[in-house]
Structure 1
Amino acid sequence: MSARRGPVLVALAGLLLAGCSASAYEDTPLPSPTTAPTADAPSAPAAAAAQCADPLASYAPQGALPAAGAMPAGSTMETIAQRGRLIVGVSADTLLLGARNPISGQIEGFDIEMARLVAEAIFGDPSRIELRVLTAAQRIPALEDGSVDLVARAMTINCTRWEQIAFSAEYYRAGQKVLVPLGSTATSLADLAGQRVCAPAGSTSLDTLEDFPDVVPVSASTHSGCLVLFQEGEVDAITGDDTVLAGLAAQDPYAQVVGDAFTSEPYGLGMNQDDVDLVRFVNGVLAQAEADGRWTQAYDRWLADALGAAPVAPTPVYGRG
């Protein structure tokens, strides 16, 4: 890395990292994470784990969505409504998906739009939302202990995670690629033998490096942390979902995303295993957004410039439970 390149780009990544503070609600007390299950929302963590022949299969919506402001009595949604805001775990340094705008201070991106759809369905107001900044490794613990209602953070659906949490239906299909210096001849992880490749701790991207024993895996708490290491010459490449790497490349004119996707990364919104009624509700919200065009509008706003024209929204798969 040249001396000319380093200070400017590392400073930019540092600005993003410095912005990862909690939201305006950070000092408010958390309500109890325990929500009593209803007849329509059985607690079934064991069943969730057992039914993972298809990890994309989620819980089907039940009937029409209730009107905003009129959540069913005793439901997880009513508990959220009574609190006055939806609490969502997000990234604040993943450009295009969830990143803090350095001018407005607001966290924004495609994942944030998905969370705002849920807040709007509960309250009739998408701004009734508290965004809590999490690392990839903090996502599952925050759902398990009830610190957040929902995680919208480029979270890949897989059977292992179904053993700990529940997922919505798939809302986006990403794929893992590699970011390398401009001018590199590498087009995949297979071309990086003996080189240091960074991915966030707790991510499926880091897990995938186990399949490439010739590379040297390096972890950081976030993708922005990987970008800092890359710009300082501490790692030779970064691996992650194409959505995430597109955001990193947009911050660094000396980097490029190369090759074809070598994994399939279906994103889902994560929830606590006991909140089956919330999962059904969220699936109804996502289905409605895909049908009325709001999903495509969100894609066009955040991802189209980097990834091209909007694909067909993922077809939801139901049947769990």
Structure 2
Amino acid sequence: MRARAATAVAVLLVSLAGGCSGDSSRPRAGASAAPSAPPATSGPGAPADTSCKPRASLRPAGPLPKPGAMPAGTYMRTIQDRGRLILGTSQDTLLFSSRNPFTGAIEGFDVDMGRQIAAAIFGDPDKIQIRVIGYDDRVEAVDAAEPVDLVADTMTANCDRWGDVDFSTIYYDAGQKVLVSSTSDARGIGDLGGRKVCAAQGSTSYDNIAAAASRPVPVARAGFADCLVAFQQNEVDAISTDDTILVGLAAQDPYAKVVGPRMSQEPYGMAISQKHHEFTRFVNAVLERNRANGTWKKTYERWLGDLGPAPRPPAAQYRD
């Protein structure tokens, strides 16, 4: 039985993950939306609001300064003088930012994005402090009482969030898909009408399920680890969220598979405080260099190589 085979793994995952909730952080209460951006709509058949050009970030100011020689008066110099970069991320998104059960270190594609920024500032990628944050805290984390310097956490750059934070250029293109039993004939959300499909409570993934034309039955759980338990115990028929998260869940359940066309586009950017536009430009310069010199490709191959050959990295777009 699928439930017997994998429940122990899922229970362990829940104990480690706690409130894993996919891409569920909302804009700050009372915050204004991005300029000229009407309220966003979500879900299949209701394209996400792109009026603010959410993929477009701030253009690099010029050549990167040498590591250890950040310009005086910049936020990069503040980080250098502190002696470490503070990265906000999760500890439960396998392949992107999850805790290694053998070493205790948090590692993955997102973590390496942060390490590459640390290397550009210090010349040493290990000069980084990882602070685990909740998905619902990602927007606030860069301006909290004890802020992180940037957030790299499978975070979709969208118009609502641009009203609160800067985003880097897009470093990964994800999209919402569906995880089903390996014996299922379903090929996507369109084949799941009337079936129970799980997503994290309060997540944009849940909203997209509820808006699907096929009328699946959305089921909310505290996090996607909880969805995995429900799936393995046959309480729900499927799980739906970003394909990046689903790949990590499927890797822990041999009786599951990821199917379907993407229900939505989820471009990931690193979130940075709007108080530090020069840091956003610096981060974009690092990303631009790493796209060109093969670092992005090597990072993909390290963490996501099992998915197939590395695609081209997302092309940078700028708003100035």
Q: What residue identity is the alignment partner of 2:267?
A: P
Decide whether aligned partners of structure 1 residues 3 and 300 sit closer, same or farther in structure 2, where only a CA change above 3 A counts: closer
* Cα-to-partner distance string for 1:203-253 (whole Å, 9 max, x where unaligned): 432332231272232334433232223223333211112121111101001
Query: Do residues 49 (structure 1) and 48 (structure 2) align?
Result: no
Local SS of the residue matching 2:302: helix
- TM-score normalised according to structure 2 size: 0.85
- Mapping of residues 173-252 of structure 1, within 5 Å: 173-201=173-201, 203-212=203-212, 214-252=215-253
Conserved? CA contact 1:137–1:203, under 8 Å? no
The answer to which of 233-242 and 212-221 deviates more is: 212-221
Conserved? CA contact 1:59–1:319, under 8 Å? yes
Decide whether aligned partners of structure 1 residues 201 and 121 sit closer, same or farther in structure 2, where only a CA change above 3 A counts: farther
Local SS of the residue matching 1:81: helix
Decide whether aligned partners of structure 1 residues 124 and 201 sit closer, same or farther in structure 2, where only a CA change above 3 A counts: farther
Shift, 1:201, TM fit:
4.1
Distance 1:95 1:137 in 2: 18
* Residue equivalent to 1:25: none
Shift, 1:191, TM fit:
1.9
- Mapping of residues 96-107 of structure 1, within 5 Å: 96-107=95-106
Conserved? CA contact 2:196–2:216, under 8 Å? yes
Conserved? CA contact 2:33–2:162, under 8 Å? no
Q: What residue identity is the alignment partner of 1:103?
A: F
Decide whether aligned partners of structure 1 residues 17 and 47 sit closer, same or farther in structure 2, where only a CA change above 3 A counts: closer
Distance 1:129 1:229 in 2: 36
The answer to which of 80-89 and 231-240 deviates more is: 231-240
Conserved? CA contact 1:179–1:245, under 8 Å? yes
- TM-score normalised according to structure 1 size: 0.84
Distance 1:3 1:163 in 2: 43
Shift, 1:268, TM fit:
0.5
Query: Do residues 280 (structure 1) and 266 (structure 2) align?
Result: no
* Residue equivalent to 1:108: 107
Distance 1:109 1:202 in 2: 25
List gaps (5 residues or longer) in structure 1: 21-44
Give the root-mean-square deviation of aligned CA atoms: 2.4
* Residue equivalent to 2:315: 315
Distance 2:118 2:297 in 1: 18
Query: Do residues 135 (structure 1) and 121 (structure 2) align?
Result: no
Conserved? CA contact 1:58–1:168, under 8 Å? yes
Shift, 1:11, TM fit:
3.6
Q: What residue identity is the alignment partner of 2:95?
A: L
* Cα-to-partner distance string for 1:131-186 (whole Å, 9 max, x where unaligned): 12223212112123252111111111111111111100011111211001121122
Conserved? CA contact 1:196–1:217, under 8 Å? yes
Decide whether aligned partners of structure 1 residues 83 and 48 sit closer, same or farther in structure 2, where only a CA change above 3 A counts: farther
Decide whether aligned partners of structure 1 residues 234 and 137 sit closer, same or farther in structure 2, where only a CA change above 3 A counts: farther
Distance 1:74 1:47 in 2: 29
Distance 1:240 1:19 in 2: 15
Local SS of the residue matching 1:251: coil
* Residue equivalent to 1:5: 5
Q: Percent identity?
A: 50
Decide whether aligned partners of structure 1 residues 282 and 259 sit closer, same or farther in structure 2, where only a CA change above 3 A counts: same
* Cα-to-partner distance string for 1:288-316 (whole Å, 9 max, x where unaligned): 111111110000011010x2100011110
Query: Do residues 158 (structure 1) and 142 (structure 2) align?
Result: no
* Residue equivalent to 2:121: 122
Distance 1:219 1:77 in 2: 41
Distance 2:3 2:239 in 1: 21
Decide whether aligned partners of structure 1 residues 47 and 232 sit closer, same or farther in structure 2, where only a CA change above 3 A counts: closer
Decide whether aligned partners of structure 1 residues 103 and 18 sit closer, same or farther in structure 2, where only a CA change above 3 A counts: farther
Conserved? CA contact 1:137–1:202, under 8 Å? no
* Residue equivalent to 1:261: 262
Shift, 1:286, TM fit:
0.5
Conserved? CA contact 2:247–2:258, under 8 Å? yes
Conserved? CA contact 1:95–1:109, under 8 Å? yes
Conserved? CA contact 2:2–2:255, under 8 Å? no
Shift, 1:119, TM fit:
0.8
Local SS of the residue matching 2:86: strand
Distance 1:165 1:149 in 2: 12
